[in-house]
């Protein structure tokens, strides 16, 4: 049997299915890297498995999809018109899980910042987000 799904198609599908290594996250990583910041990914031993962690700054970052994590006031966080109850309970569970992760991380002494998918579209947006959350004076030498 030959594999008929092209590589492009497969990566598109994977991007749709998985919540890890999505392109908004890659954009944040790429900017962090260009700023000379050292980070780690998907720390499994931390509550909520933050997407990007800056150990030196005790900063945990979540890169949230606007739809799934309900970016308030965002166009992308639209409400599906069918199966309303199903979606509402799913969204409520996501939001509750997110809030719980933030609380648990803060209890462990981490600062937590969330960058929304729609804020990762431009390099400038990501840069200002990272600058706002990371003290320049503590920046790692490149």
Beta bridge partners of 64: 116
Whichever of 104 and 127 has its CB closer to Zn ion, that residue is 127
Q: Does 118 bind Zn ion (CB under 5 A)?
A: yes
Whichever of 41 and 74 has its CB closer to Zn ion, that residue is 74
Segment contacting Zn ion by CB under 5 A, of 6-14, 49-57, 111-119, 126-134: 111-119
Number of amino acids touching Zn ion (CB under 5 A): 6
Q: Does 114 bind Zn ion (CB under 5 A)?
A: no
Distance CA 138, CA 68 (A): 33
Could you tell me if 126 and 115 are in contact, meaning their C-beta atoms sit under 8 angstroms apart? yes
- The number of CA neighbours under 13 Å toward the Cβ of 142 is 7
Least distance (Å) between residue 87 CB and Zn ion: 17
**Strand 111-116 with 59-64, pairing:** parallel
Q: CB count, 10 Å around CB of 91?
A: 17
Q: Which of residues 29-88 bind Zn ion (CB under 5 A)?
A: 66, 71, 74, 76
Footprint of Zn ion (CB under 5 A): 66, 71, 74, 76, 116, 118
């Amino acid at each position: 049997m030959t594999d008929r799904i092209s590589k492009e198609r497969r990566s598109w599908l994977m991007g749709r299915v998985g919540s890890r290594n999505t392109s908004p996250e890659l954009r944040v990583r790429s900017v962090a890297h260009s700023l000379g910041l050292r980070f780690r990914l998907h720390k499994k031993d931390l509550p909520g498995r933050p997407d990007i962690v800056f150990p030196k700054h005790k900063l945990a970052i979540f890169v949230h999809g606007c739809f799934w994590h309900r970016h308030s006031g965002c166009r992308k966080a639209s409400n599906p018109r069918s199966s309303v109850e199903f979606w509402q309970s799913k969204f409520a569970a996501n939001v509750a899980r997110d809030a719980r992760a933030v609380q648990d991380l803060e209890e462990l002494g981490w600062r937590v910042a969330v960058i929304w998918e729609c804020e990762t579209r431009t390099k400038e947006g990501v840069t200002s987000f990272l600058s706002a959350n990371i003290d320049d004076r503590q920046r790692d030498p490149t």
